[in-house]
Chains A and B, each alone.
Chain A
Amino acid sequence: GQQVMQIPQYQHVQEGEDFTTYCNSSTTLSNIQWYKQRPGGHPVFLIQLVKSGEVKKQKRLTFQFGEAKKNSSLHITATQTTDVGTYFCAGHPGGKLIFGQGTELSVKP
């Protein structure tokens, strides 16, 4: 079936280091959404990217949508302990929203 693949599954960083998670689809996505789930919490919408090559920033977070609209990335600059959680991408390879497996980020102070 249609899948949205996300890597890595886990990432452990030292506070202050950068972090990136990648999302890939075998088919073109009409748009991609990113969510963050804090430990014990629920997924919370962060952003949606629609245009080919689009780049959006939210403070230390940078979101990119690939030129072919098949991949996306989330980059966090200078991680803080408040960044811990699982980051999910979710895309539309055709008709319905499909979530990636998520990347669990832990930050060591």
Chain B
Amino acid sequence: DTAVSQTPKYLVTQMGNDKSIKCEQNLGHDTMYWYKQDSKKFLKIMFSYNNKELIINETVPNRFSPKSPDKAHLNLHINSLELGDSAVYFCASSPRLAEGTDTQYFGPGTRLTVL
């Protein structure tokens, strides 16, 4: 069974469109994250949710809106897609948010290409 799953794996879309990426974890973790990995492989945190509550919002354009219906799910909706949004988006979860207990379990990633 996949611990952290994301759909879709690949997403190719036109500039200006709106798209969503879904994430689910079956580890019973309290905290979930969205990361963006650019072409240089730099991993940048975007959002963190702890038990459905937004904890970290890292100066991400408000075109990006996360939503956590329950602590096992964290979805990412992106409005008005831009070329610069092309990247791999990773969902991750950790047992808790506190330092030392936030080992990240990553999903397989969603490769977003904006044309």
Residues of chain A at the chain B interface (Cβ within 8 Å): 30-31, 33, 35, 37, 41-45, 48, 50, 86, 88, 90, 92, 95-99, 101-102, 104
Given the known inter-chain contacts A30-B99, A102-B42, A104-B41, please indicate yes or no for A90 contacting B104, CB distance below 8 A. Answer: yes
Bin chain B's interface residue count.
10 to 19
- Indicate if the CB atoms of A42 and B43 lie closer than 8 Å: no
Complex contacts, B90 vs chain A, CB 8 Å: 42-43
What is the CA–CA distance of A90 and B102 in the complex, to the nearest angstrom? Answer: 11
Taking the closest CB of chain B, its distance from the CB of A75, in whole angstroms, is: 21
What is the CA–CA distance of A90 and B103 in the complex, to the nearest angstrom? Answer: 10
What is the CA–CA distance of A88 and B41 in the complex, to the nearest angstrom? Answer: 10
Complex contacts, A48 vs chain B, CB 8 Å: 100, 103
What is the CA–CA distance of A97 and B33 in the complex, to the nearest angstrom? Answer: 11
Taking the closest CB of chain A, its distance from the CB of B42, in whole angstroms, is: 6
| Given A35-B104, A37-B41; 6 other pairs, CB 8 A cutoff | A33-B104, A43-B106, A45-B104, A45-B105, A88-B43, A99-B43
Complex contacts, B66 vs chain A, CB 8 Å: none
B12 at the interface (CB under 8 A from A): no
